[in-house]
Amino acid sequence: MGTFNITVIPGDGIGPEVTSSAVRVLEEVGAKFGHKFNFEYSICGGAAYDKYGEPLPQESLQKCLDSDSVLLGAVGGPQYDDLPYEKRPERALLGVRKAMGLYANLRPAKLFDALADVCPLKHAKNIDMLVVRELIGGIYFGEKGVRMGKYGREGYDVMCYGELEVERICRAAFELAQKRRGKVTSVDKANVLKTSGIWRKVVHDIHEDYPDVQLEDVLVDNMAMQLVRDPSQFDVIVTGNLFGDILSDLASQCVGSIGILPSASINDTTRGLYEPIHGSAPTIAGKNIANPIATILSASMMLKYAFDLSKEAEAVDKAVEKALNDGARTADLAQPGLPVLGTAEMTDTILKNL
């Protein structure tokens, strides 16, 4: 019914293990629904530095640009911590995002009923939020360097957002909210930062085009507190690159584990980058311990957003939920009385449910 070309970046640490699981699931989806997924592998991150001395070789980037979509595992590791800034594995991730123009990062955090007891919050329920993070602007992409200052050497990183950058991410958030529960929470630090002052003004200007959506402003420090106090109050959360990076990791713990949270990085086209929000976890790499769910759910988001295969995406989501409902757990989700499955075994269980 459809043929799709996917570039796979296994990356570092547990990346190859979890991407392998997601590829297996996509292959099964293809077989059951009559689609053909062609996989092209690209080497990026620490693995690329080890082989080529660069975290993002041009050939690797070109494969991403030539594909219909990209599936990424994770990049990085402590062995690269002392490398020059431009050689670090994370530069590959930032480079791919920038080259593909992926300005919107969607990070859903939903509490599965079966994991209510794994959630560290008391009496957690009805948690279903979507963090919409601006991805190719802000402090991560601003001017940066080291200079001599009043107190000796000092590092600096400039946070800057233009009106058009804020407008496009906010429109994405409002349009997503229209398809959900109709509420957007904009997170900034407008009481201190000039950047946030511009952010808040643009958000309110754009909100006039979406009168059916409720808008609230929350300062980032209060937002961190509210996520711990009552995350169920939030629907769509829109914020900048730095705040979104931090808050989405906090949101992951509100639903039990960072090992179950997927993400989609998208632009105005159908091509995007799909990845789990967790890191490379080098201490457990190669041990068949890693939770593959976040990457499998990232593949589900790819089916939905990149290929317009909503029925297939729903089948994957339900297969994951059934596995959890039936008591399947990886080490990060361990509960008394339930067996702990390895990466491959959890993937097998999900595949049986498709």
Q: What are the boundaries of each domain within the chain? A: 1-106+269-354, 120-254
Q: Where are the alpha helices (DSSP H) in 81-162?
A: 90-100
Is 221 tagged catalytic? yes
pLDDT computed for residue 241 by the predictor: 96
Q: What is the mean pLDDT of residues 46-70?
A: 96
Report helix, strand or coil for 35: strand
Query: Helix %, strand %, coil % for the chain, to 5?
Result: 45, 20, 30
DSSP 341: P
Task: Give dist(CA 166, CA 177) in Å, integer.
Answer: 16
Q: What is the mean pLDDT of residues 88-103?
A: 93
Does CATH place domain 120-254 in 3.40.718.10? yes
**Which one of 49, 80, 103, 140 is the catalytic residue?**
140
**With 80 as the cut, is the pLDDT of residue 1 above it?**
no
Residue-wise pLDDT tens digits, 281-303: 999 999 999 999 999 999 999 99
Task: Give dist(CA 330, CA 281) in Å, integer.
Answer: 15
**With 90 as the cut, is the pLDDT of residue 253 above it?**
no
Is 189 tagged catalytic? yes
pLDDT computed for residue 270 by the predictor: 86
Strands 144-149 and 35-41: unpaired
How far CA 66 is from CA of 6, 14, 62, 99, in Å, comes to: 9, 26, 6, 12
**Which one of 161, 189, 304, 332 is the catalytic residue?**
189
* Burial readout 261-282 (b: 16 or more C-beta within 10 A, e: otherwise): bbbbbbbeeebbbbbbbbbbbb
CB 16 within 8 A of CB 73: yes
Q: Maximum CA pair distance of the chain? A: 65
210 CB-side CA count, 13 A: 22
Token readout for 333 is 């989700």
Task: Give dist(CA 230, CA 129) in Å, integer.
Answer: 12
Is 140 tagged catalytic? yes
pLDDT computed for residue 295 by the predictor: 98
Do the domains spanning 1-106+269-354 and 120-254 agree at the CATH topology level? yes
Homologous superfamily assigned to 1-106+269-354 = Isopropylmalate Dehydrogenase (3.40.718.10)
Q: What is the mean pLDDT of residues 142-156?
A: 96
Is 317 tagged catalytic? no
**Which one of 157, 209, 221, 326 is the catalytic residue?**
221
Task: Give dist(CA 163, CA 182) in Å, integer.
Answer: 23
Is 287 tagged catalytic? no
Residue-wise pLDDT tens digits, 195-223: 999 999 999 999 999 999 999 999 999 99
Q: What is the mean pLDDT of residues 18-39?
A: 98
Nearest to 315 by CA among 30, 6, 3: 30
Neighbours of 76 (CB within 10 A): 23
* pLDDT-based confidence at residue 257 (cuts at 50, 70, 90): confident
**Which one of 128, 249, 317, 348 is the catalytic residue?**
249
* pLDDT-based confidence at residue 347 (cuts at 50, 70, 90): very high
